[in-house]
Amino acid sequence: MRSKQAGFQFGVTIFLLTAFVRPVAGQAMTNDERMIREARAASNRAIAAHDADAMAGYWMPDFHITPSTSVLRAGREDNRRSFAQLFAERPDVVYVRTPDTVELFLPWDVAAESGHWTGQWTQADGVTRIGGTYYAQWRKVDGRWLIQAEIFVPTYCEGSSYCSKRP
């Protein structure tokens, strides 16, 4: 287990070191983009710590998510409870979302984030590794960027029977 944990910690460290690298060379990152990328990194740390309350702090009250299972969930509190339950059921679960692009439309205080995500946890018949692409809509509220909606699309799943059909 230590080697898996060490591998995970190494991966999170690499992610955190690269989370703020601008994908297009020569373009300066704006303060608003930096704020969004920092919020995403903090949200990833909250997931790694299994802290559903901290995760919910990055969501708007009417937050909506379509996870890889394609089941729409609405509302910050319902999603907080759902993640708390997930953390209880899968004690080693971790998800990492890595932004590829952040596009801002400041007249409306809105931003689009797209990137790739990974997830991993242990099932009775093996370690599940899943991942894909995601899209997030951010809104700036009182000077702070919060997530209004996220969609996660799986593009691979391997390692356990969980992957054999959509849950």
Mean pLDDT, contiguous 10-residue spans, the chain (167 residues) = 46 43 60 97 98 98 95 95 97 98 97 98 97 98 97 98 93
Where are the chain's structural domains?
2-164
Taking alpha carbons only, the member of 111, 112, 144, 153 closest to residue 39 is 144
**What value, to the nearest 5°, has the Cα angle with vertex 11 and ends 19 and 147?**
40
β-bridge partners, 150: 65, 136
Strands 94-105 and 126-141: unpaired
Does the predicted TM-score (pTM) go above 0.85?
A: no
The predicted structure's pLDDT at residue 167: 87
Number of C-beta neighbours around residue 36 at 10 A = 24
Question: Under a CB-based contact definition with an 8 Å cutoff, are residues 119 and 94 in contact?
Answer: yes
- Calpha distance 44→158 (Å, rounded): 22
Domain 2-164 adopts which CATH fold?
Answer: Nuclear Transport Factor 2; Chain: A, (3.10.450)
The predicted structure's pLDDT at residue 10: 41
The predicted structure's pLDDT at residue 27: 64
